């Protein structure tokens, strides 16, 4: 067996290089996953803002309708109507 300057055999260096290559592949895969998740988070944030805006518009619309429906209409029965 040949021993290099670092004290590792050729077999040890090969195993170390293989482990290093596996780790690099894992890091690259995790970076890709992180980029995809980040993009998804941005998309969901935008969708959430849009829905909040729509919810505000609908809330305002409903609030504007409520007083019109709760106002008593003249001559339509009620406690003060004469029979």
Report the pLDDT value the prediction gives residue 5, as an integer from 0 to 100.
Answer: 53
**pLDDT, mean of residues 24-41:** 98
pTM (global) more than 0.95: no
Phi, psi of 72, deg, nearest 5:
-70, 140
**pLDDT, mean of residues 44-58:** 97
- Encode burial over 59-83: b for 16+ CB neighbours within 10 A, e otherwise: eeeeeeeeeeeeeeeeeeeeeeeee
């Amino acid at each position: 067996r040949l021993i290099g300057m670092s004290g590792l055999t050729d077999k040890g260096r090969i195993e170390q290089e293989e482990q290093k290559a596996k780790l690099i592949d894992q890091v690259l895969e995790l970076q890709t996953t992180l980029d995809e998740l980040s993009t998804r988070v941005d998309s969901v944030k935008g969708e959430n803002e849009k829905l909040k805006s729509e919810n505000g518009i609908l809330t305002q619309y409903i609030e504007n309708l409520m007083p019109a429906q709760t106002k008593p209409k003249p001559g339509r029965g009620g406690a003060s109507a004469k029979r």
